Structure 1
Amino acid sequence: MTDPIGPIRAALAGRYEIEREIGEGAFATVFLARDLRHERLVAIKVLNADPTSQESELRFLSEIRLLAKLQHPNIVPLIDSGHAGATLYYVMPYVTGESLRERIHREKQLPLEAAIAIAREAADALAYAHEQGIIHRDIKPENILLSAGHPMIADFGVARAIDLAHVRQLTRKGFVTPGTPAYMSPEQLIGDRPIDQRSDIYSLGCVL
């Protein structure tokens, strides 16, 4: 049987050892892997759809390099990126714990103090990134990971990188762009004007 992720395994051989798939979204499949150089677990996100051109691929990798400079205790850092053939991927540390979505599903409703504490730290991370000129564009409970009770925002700015690469995921309803409608600001959902940091603040308010 053909290994569906054979090209990725081959491209990462000697650097990362893929253990298993741990998640899948509209735009990426997530794999748990071992960083052989640093002896640590990482999460590798592989885009499900190919970029439309080599220029698009270069835009994606260039944007990822900018995002890798973000250093904040409540932001999951990007530590590597690349491509295997025309398939793009990026690497983050593997965060043990659960997502905010999983906690909400488990507890149904968070205690007020816990919800405020999570929102405060997430807002601090957003403020830091906004000072660097970077907008998340896809704030939602699934992208807020909880480690030792503290939030860590994942996929910071990756939505823009995917958009720059002109990557589109084809669904039954047609092509979709990065973002989650239930948490999007009106201007992001309509797409009739450029968005700024206020869109992230709106999304965090929806989460809270």
Structure 2
Amino acid sequence: MSYNPSIRLTSGEHVEIVDRTHLPFHRIGRLGMGASAQVEVVEEPTTRRRYAHKIFTPYYGHTLERFKKEVQNEIAIIKRLRGHPHIVNVEWSYACGRELGILLTPVASDGDLSAYLYEIRVPQDGGSNGNGGVSSATREQRAVLVKAFGCLASGLAFMHGLKIRHKDIKPSNILVHNGHMVYTDFGIAKDLVGMNTMTSGKPGGFTDRYCPPEVAEWDPRNRKSDVFSLGCVFIEIMAVLFSDARELAEDRTPYRKRLQDVQGTLIQCSVADFDLRQLFVVILGMVEEMSEDRVGATDLVDCLMDLKMPCAESLFCRQCGGT
């Protein structure tokens, strides 16, 4: 890819490009690939600033018009959410023939949450560390994970306050950057401004493991479906922090299909009144089978704010409520 200084990378701008080789950045490396897009790291030569370059191409069953509409929807939603410290930013976008692309920040320093949790659970040498083959988090990693609860709740409350549903919350759609959690991948997110926040019918897509019952059954659903999915993510974080919750995350059965066991374990884990165990009760209110019984995102933030944490730990970073 050659650098063309005539095309400027102006923040927030969308441009039409005739020749892809003239994109105003250099490719550094590959980050990953999904069903409809691939992501790579690129660098703008003048500023040396790096971006996550998400490249969309039409896929089977989608007309070019529908494909462009879906990508434009993702761009518009992320731009609406701009400014929250735990939500990814769109810096620039372009169209080049049948390809659409966006530049996103940040480029996660520690990958996504799924990989981050895996690296803590599994020792680098693949051996046992005396804790059932599951490695313990370092003090720094623990601090990052503890703050994840408040920061992710804050980000979700911000989305829901703008009547936006993410619809695919899972560890691989959460970045870990410089110790902070950042929501990404709004490909199937929905902006419900001016619309009924309750939807029904066949879902546009979902991830089975973190999917709430009402989405899987095509029942009416609302923003509390996101709360259920985030509750499942919280369970997987707690499974790294507390060995007695480990089995909840190791079982690959979707959480909604074993809710009774999940809820029973959460109650058992919460009985000792010390450290972070009070969080198990909060999570219990997030993974209720019926959406009307679940805590809302704003109330979730309030619940976490009210928890009395050890003085050395905080559930929120300074940017979204920590001290």
Q: Shorter-normalised TM-score: what interval?
A: 0.7 to 0.9
| Mapping of residues 109-124 of structure 1, within 5 Å | 115-124=145-154
Q: What does the per-residue CA deviation read over 1:170-202, in whole Å, with 9 as the maximum and x for residues that have no partner?
A: xxxxxx954311111222233343x42211111
Greater shift after overlay, 183-192 or 55-64?
55-64
Q: What amino acid is aligned across from residue 209 of structure 2 in structure 1?
A: A
Q: 1:9 to 1:185 in 2, by over 3 A?
A: farther
In the alignment, the residues of structure 2 paired with residue 185 and residue 14 of structure 1 have an alpha-carbon distance, to the nearest angstrom, of 41
Asked whether the equivalents of residues 45 and 90 of structure 1 are also in contact (C-alpha less than 8 Å), the reply is: yes
Equivalent of 1:141, from 148, 171, 193?
171
Find 1:69's aligned residue among 61, 75, 80.
80
Q: Which among 148, 152, 160 is matched to residue 189 of structure 2?
A: 160
Q: Counterparts of 1:199 and 1:23 in 2: how far apart (Å)?
A: 27
Which of the two has greater strand per residue? Answer: 1
- 1:183 is aligned, of 210, 215, 218, to 210
Deviations 1:40-82 (A, max 9, x none): 1111112253441325514531552242131201111122233
Native 8 Å contact 2:24 2:44 kept in 1: yes
Cross-structure match for 1:34: 43
Give secondary structure in 2 for the equivalent of 1:98.
Answer: coil
Corresponding residue for 1:81?
A: 93
Residue number in structure 2 paired with 1:205: 231
Count of residue pairs the alignment pairs up: 186
Which piece of structure 1 moves more, 92-101 or 112-121?
112-121
Residue identity in the other structure for 1:76: V
User: Where does structure 1 lack aligned partners over 5 or more consecutive residues?
Assistant: 162-175
Q: In the TM superposition, what is the alpha-carbon distance from 1:140 to its structure 2 partner?
A: 0.8
- TM-score between both structures, scaled by the size of structure 2: 0.51
Corresponding position of 1:60:
71
One-letter amino acid of the structure 2 residue matched with residue 30 of structure 1: V
Instruction: Show the 5 A alignment for 1:92-131.
Output: 92-93=104-105, 94-108=107-121, 115-131=145-161
Larger radius of gyration: 2
- The alpha carbon displacement at 1:205 in A equals 0.4
Q: Secondary structure at the match of 2:163?
A: coil
SS at match of 1:196: coil
Using structure 1 for the length normalisation, give the TM-score.
0.75
Identity level (%)? 26
Change (3 A) 1:12 1:189: farther
Secondary structure of 2:164's aligned partner: coil
Paired residue type of 2:49 = R
Q: Structure 1 residues 137 and 62, CA, compared in 2 at 3 Å: closer, same or farther?
A: closer
Check 1:104–1:129 CA distance in 2 against 1; reply closer, same or farther (3 A cut): same
Q: Is the deviation greater in 8-17 or in 57-66?
A: 8-17
Of structures 1 and 2, the one scoring higher in RCO (CA 8 A, sep 6+) is: 1
Is contact 1:28–1:47 with CA below 8 Å preserved after alignment?
yes
Q: Which 10-residue stretch deviates more, 97-106 or 127-136?
A: 97-106
Contact 2:112 2:175 in 1 (8 A): yes
Shift of 1:83: 2.5
Q: 1:66 to 1:105 in 2, by over 3 A?
A: closer
How well do the aligned residues superpose, as a CA RMSD in angstroms? 2.9
Work out the CA distance in 2 between the residues paired with 1:104 and 1:34.
28
Unaligned stretches of 5+ residues in structure 2: 2-16, 122-133, 191-202, 235-323
